[in-house]
Structure 1
Amino acid sequence: MAVKRILVIDDHPLFREGIKTIIRRNTAFEVVGEAGSAQEGLREAMRLRPDLAVVDISLPDKSGIQLVREMIAALSGIRIIMVSMHSKVDYVAEAFQAGATGYVTKESASENLLTGLLAVARGESFLDPSLSREVAMRLLDVSGHKRQAGGESGGQAAYDTLTPREREVMRLVCEGMFTKEIADVLSISIKTVEHHRASIMKKLGLQNTVELVRYAVKIGLID
């Protein structure tokens, strides 16, 4: 296998250094660039045209999931593995739906990142072993014990009616972001955020942010 050129995108310099150290253990890979934000990451990807990219979901200026969509659209053939502190199934499912081909938690990066990169470089998909079963249940919808939110919501089935963008907005709302902050992170207008929030509330049968957060906890979207 020819040496694969890798771009690392994460907003924490120390973690980027750790990722680069792990990657350099295998001569099949070469780190050709790094970035600390989505905007810088896309710019470097366009300039360097790497074979692979390691991307964090939580970036300061934009969701890493949105960045994946943009990179896939702009660069034919690039393959992306996400390394994130988030282990919730929904984050993983959205990452793959956006076009990522691998997902590793930061907690297990030292053990699993190289394995994941090798798999992705071969054209395969890779899931952190600790997540595989949960993600399969979520993506294939074969869980025999779907979580029910009860009371103010229609459970997991209602959540499944949300669009990918609505899920992004919902997650950011539940993380405590204000409307303007969400608009800035997702590069959309305040009016569009408000429209998505109204749609989310209607689809889930909720009345306010407190109920939304409670619902998110009950379906396992947040802790």
Structure 2
Amino acid sequence: MLPNDPRRPAIEAPRVHVVDDYAEYRDGLLYSLRAEGFEARGYASGEVFLAEPLWLRRGVVTLDIDFDPPGSMNGLQIFNLLLAQRCPMPVIFLTGPHGNDMDLALDQVGLRGRADVHFFSKQAPLDKLKDKIRLFLAREPALRREAEEERRLLQLVLDVLTPAEREVISRVLRGQTNYGIARELNKEEGVVELQRASAMKKLLGDSRSPHLLVELLRPLLDRHGAESLTALAEHELVHRLGLLDPLARDVLMAAVDGRSDTQIARAHGWLDETDRERRHRAVVQGHLDRALALVQADAVRQVRKWLGYFGPCRPSSPSPSPSSP
């Protein structure tokens, strides 16, 4: 998808996302929130809530912990996927009367160091819950700006910088001179100077300050435990591909390999040879759009380029069995 492609889903307005399988409580909370002017939407399961990439969502999530039937995604699993997709929405866990689920959630969330998380019993007064929702809604724009800046930098490192520029800038961050970088990489010093200038233009605009470069990129490297921009780019690609479920992965990798929508649809059992309207195209495109959104790519060629940089990152793609659209 191109940046202005009308098929690109828009980021929604902030709202309260109520994820709870208990319909009576969920509907009652939605009614109470809407009565006080909150925009709110309910979801009966984590699977429904996660049907679209979380980055497109804004606002606050209220999240039950235990879900029925057995085998359904629970609240902690949903929370972990929020973290995996780097979704900046604050989370309010709503716990049942027995308390064991709250102890478990406190242990798990505490390990992740998230300050934008709170816990309420479902028996607590709704006024207190609404006050916390208002507080989190006011805080969400700042959290999103921080997340957007990190997302922007990671996209620059993975998609905009060339492999040579990543090598050069990694050494600039270590304090090496152009001469030292040229000797280490066995390049002409003039070539290193051009690559350094090109990378800094992409990262800093008109500034050429190495101090600003360090301030921009060193915290990013430290947060992701990467020693170089090349390692960071590879780590980021592995992370993004890891967000794909098996179906999204298979469709995306098939498109990367140059297979047509007809070939992809046939492999997954979506093709009706008698359908003159070729409705399988919309099915394939829907899965492909979702996959591209999860890996933050505008087009298949972008993913193909990344895999060209880091071939070993490519996920394995077993032969698909027929699946529902």
Q: Give the TM-score category using the shorter length.
A: 0.3 to 0.5
| Structure index of larger Rg | 2
- Richer in helix (by share): 2
TM-score between the two structures when normalised by the length of structure 1: 0.46
TM-score between the two structures when normalised by the length of structure 2: 0.33
- Richer in strand (by share): 1
